[in-house]
Amino acid sequence: MTTSTPGSRMTAVIASPAGPTGADTPILGGSTSVRDDSATPPSQTRRRVDQAILFAFIAIPFLAILAAIPVAWNRGLGWHDVVIATVFYAIAGHGITVGFHRCFTHGAFKPNRPLRIALATAGSLAIEGPVIRWVADHRRHHAFSDRAGDPHSPWRYGETVPALMKGLWWAHIGWFFDVEQTPRARYVPDLLADKDMRRVDAAFPALIFVSVLAPAVIGGLWSMSWQGAATAFFWGSLVRIGLLHHVTWSINSICHAIGERPFVSRDRSANVWWLAVLSMGESWHNLHHADPTCARHGVDPGQLDSSARIIWAFEKLGLASDVRWPRPERIDGKRCR
Ligand SMILES: [Zn+2]
Ligand SMILES: [Zn+2]
């Protein structure tokens, strides 16, 4: 997922629940005056190299997840590793959910400038692609959700069981390898016009290094040992990145296939309660598609949504304003009768 070639598909690594800034505003702007460097298609060789790197970034963390239980069983897991992995998961994960998704994609609240930069940086640590491409893909997802044009609908191949199995794979991972690019000038003219966002977007390759290496450095210094650096790298980098990838991708695949649909939306989005904690509230995906700009996705009692709690804290600290909190009458108006 290096993004030194801005037009490459691999820059689009992940997907998630995102969309236009509002349910009724599928595309922001439409300006063609904004420079869009994704318009130049990459060469065939470049594409192959990009796809090989993308494959490595998906496969290696996944193999680490498979190896996690035997490694833990063999005492390759200490409490330092748990702390480092959890903190990095929370920072990168909320960078995606609070920053990339609820703020930059949907405008659910307005952060001040330092917070805006911090959120874009934190989300980049998830290694789900650079911020501008991520937002472009997710606005397109909302514009066409579960219809032709959606970059990652599990219903792409039809409704039979074999078609859905194939579609789930596509929605989860396959779409990353699609050569079709989301036109950025059309979907994210606001971010392309924002110097801070362009800088963080361009810094994505450097942030990959930070995300991959920082846990090892912290783990080594904390324990003053190479062993501590190695186990922190395994848990805090590989397993953490792999787990967050698959949780985010599950919003695209699982949360558009199974679950409860208490709200009216024009797609197959669903609420999946057992993903709520790991997805930091994003798996209340049916409500999200019913009301995309809402800052809280878990609107009903008992629906855990740590991302909403963090936005609440930002608001209380004076770092965020214009938060679009759910209003009971608006939410009730969207319930299925
Ligand atoms: Zn969705
Ligand atoms: Zn969304």
User: Which has the higher per-residue pLDDT, 140 or 22?
Assistant: 140
Q: 35 CA distance to ligand 1 centroid (A)?
A: 28
Ligand nearest the Cα atom of residue 288:
2
Residue 24 banded pLDDT, cuts 50, 70, 90: very low
3-state secondary structure of 190: helix
Q: Where are the alpha helices (DSSP H) in 74-203?
A: 79-94, 113-124, 131-144, 161-172, 184-187, 189-192, 195-202
Say which range, 21-25, 247-251, 304-308, has the weakest mean pLDDT: 21-25
Is residue 33 predicted with pLDDT exceeding 70?
no
In this prediction, residue 59 carries a pLDDT of: 85
Ligand nearest the Cα atom of residue 256:
1
Mean pLDDT, residues 35-50: 64
For residue 1, tell me if it sits in a domain.
no
Ligand nearest the Cα atom of residue 103:
2
Q: 221 CA distance to ligand 1 centroid (A)?
A: 41
* Domain range enclosing 208: 9-333
Ligand nearest the Cα atom of residue 144:
1
Q: 94 CA distance to ligand 2 centroid (A)?
A: 14
Gap between the Cα atoms of 100 and 274, Å rounded: 23
For residue 266, tell me if it sits in a domain.
yes
* Mean pLDDT computed over every residue of the chain: 87
Ligand nearest the Cα atom of residue 252:
1
Q: 227 CA distance to ligand 1 centroid (A)?
A: 41
Residues with beta carbon < 5 A to ion ligand 2?
A: 17-19
Q: 252 CA distance to ligand 2 centroid (A)?
A: 10
Is residue 25 predicted with pLDDT exceeding 80?
no
For residue 91, tell me if it sits in a domain.
yes
For residue 4, tell me if it sits in a domain.
no
Q: 285 CA distance to ligand 2 centroid (A)?
A: 8
If 0-12 CB within 10 Å is exposed, 13-18 middle and 19+ buried, where does residue 72 land? middle
Q: How far is CA 76 from CA 59, 65, 72, 80, 157, in A?
A: 21, 13, 5, 11, 42
Dig out the tokens for 222 from the structure: 């904390």
Q: 297 CA distance to ligand 2 centroid (A)?
A: 10
Number of structural domains in the chain = 1
Q: Are 42 and 12 in contact (CB under 8 A)?
A: no
User: b/e per residue, 179-204, with b = 16+ CB within 10 A?
Assistant: eebbebbbbbbbbbebeebbebbebb
Is residue 15 predicted with pLDDT exceeding 50?
no
Q: 285 CA distance to ligand 1 centroid (A)?
A: 6
Q: 139 CA distance to ligand 2 centroid (A)?
A: 7
Is residue 41 predicted with pLDDT exceeding 60?
no
Amino acid identity, residue 41?
Answer: P
In this prediction, residue 67 carries a pLDDT of: 86
Is residue 178 predicted with pLDDT exceeding 90?
no
Q: 99 CA distance to ligand 2 centroid (A)?
A: 11
Q: 157 CA distance to ligand 1 centroid (A)?
A: 17
Q: 208 CA distance to ligand 1 centroid (A)?
A: 26
Say which range, 155-159, 278-282, 302-306, has the weakest mean pLDDT: 155-159
For residue 178, tell me if it sits in a domain.
yes
Q: 23 CA distance to ligand 2 centroid (A)?
A: 9
Q: 249 CA distance to ligand 2 centroid (A)?
A: 13
Is residue 179 predicted with pLDDT exceeding 50?
yes
Ligand nearest the Cα atom of residue 20:
2
Written as one string, the DSSP assignment of 47-90 is HHHHHHHHHHHHHHHHHHHHHHHHHHHTT---HHHHHHHHHHHH
For residue 3, tell me if it sits in a domain.
no
Residue 52 banded pLDDT, cuts 50, 70, 90: confident
Gap between the Cα atoms of 259 and 272, Å rounded: 5
For residue 306, tell me if it sits in a domain.
yes
Gap between the Cα atoms of 283 and 304, Å rounded: 10
Q: Residue 336 — left, alpha, or beta (φ > 0 → left; ψ -120 to 50 → alpha)?
A: beta
In this prediction, residue 42 carries a pLDDT of: 62
Q: 230 CA distance to ligand 1 centroid (A)?
A: 37
Sign of CA dihedral 310, 280, 104, 59: positive
3-state secondary structure of 321: strand
Mean pLDDT, residues 110-139: 97
3-state secondary structure of 240: helix
Gap between the Cα atoms of 83 and 232, Å rounded: 9
Angle at 229 between CA 228 and CA 233, to 5 degrees: 115
How far the first Cα of the chain sits from its last, in Å, is 44
Gap between the Cα atoms of 37 and 43, Å rounded: 14
Percent of the chain with pLDDT over 70: 88
DSSP symbol at 111: E
Kindly report, residue by residue over 147-156, the tens digit of the pLDDT: 999 999 999 9
For residue 2, tell me if it sits in a domain.
no
3-state secondary structure of 35: coil
Dig out the tokens for 65 from the structure: 């997840």
Is residue 3 predicted with pLDDT exceeding 60?
no
